[in-house]
Chains A and B, each alone.
Chain A
Amino acid sequence: DAGVIQSPRHEVTEMGQEVTLRCKPISGHNSLFWYRQTMMRGLELLIYFNNNVPIDDSGMPEDRFSAKMPNASFSTLKIQPSEPRDSAVYFCASSLGGAGSYEQYFGPGTRLTVT
């Protein structure tokens, strides 16, 4: 298995531009998690899905952030408009989901820089 796949690996954009991050979970995994990592705030959960349905988006910082999971193999995290304070590493993780299947496996991350 290729593991969790994320693209792009690096993204540099100007303030005000739209940014879309992509994630392909491990095949057969039913839960998908989006995290943001910064030095100041550590590893923060933004949103997570189970069976393609958003379960908890309380970690999404504001309306500029949105996430979708149109099918079991693909999810996007969109920032519109982007701001310099959005600069961070964004990780996607997946797990089997369901009672007792909690192990989360992380993708390589997308390093976002907003200038």
Chain B
Amino acid sequence: GENVEQHPSTLSVQEGDSAVIKCTYSDSASNYFPWYKQELGKRPQLIIDIRSNVGEKKDQRIAVTLNKTAKHFSLHITETQPEDSAVYFCAATIGTSYGKLTFGQGTILTVHP
């Protein structure tokens, strides 16, 4: 089955700096890669996603890049703010049409004011 590895497990940055979280996946048939943000005690919330026919996608301060050859994708957050502090999860489909996701282990991002 699919395996998703996420790094780093923790990331600490100063407000205004950029943050990058990286994930690798194993199933070459995977075609959908979402990123979720989970604040303490809250539900995971979809913040951005990318499909296998696109190499990069941006939404204001966040962007995701995908390298299908290397089977890795990354989340980029620019001009970080304290409210960006949360756990971030990457995920990948297992290549079925139902969207079954395998999640990475999560990255705890802390943005210091």
Contact = CB atoms under 8 A, between A and B. Distances in A.
> Do A and B make up one complex?
yes
Interface string A21-41: 000000000010100000000
A55 B43 contact: no
Interface residues of B, number: 20
Secondary structure at the A interface, as helix, strand, loop or mixed, is strand
B100 A56 contact: yes
A74 interface: no
B49 A42 contact: no
A101 interface: yes
| Residue of B36, B98, B101 contacting most chain A CB atoms (<10 Å) | B98
A105 interface: yes
Interface of B: 32, 34, 36, 42-46, 49, 89, 93, 97-103, 105-106
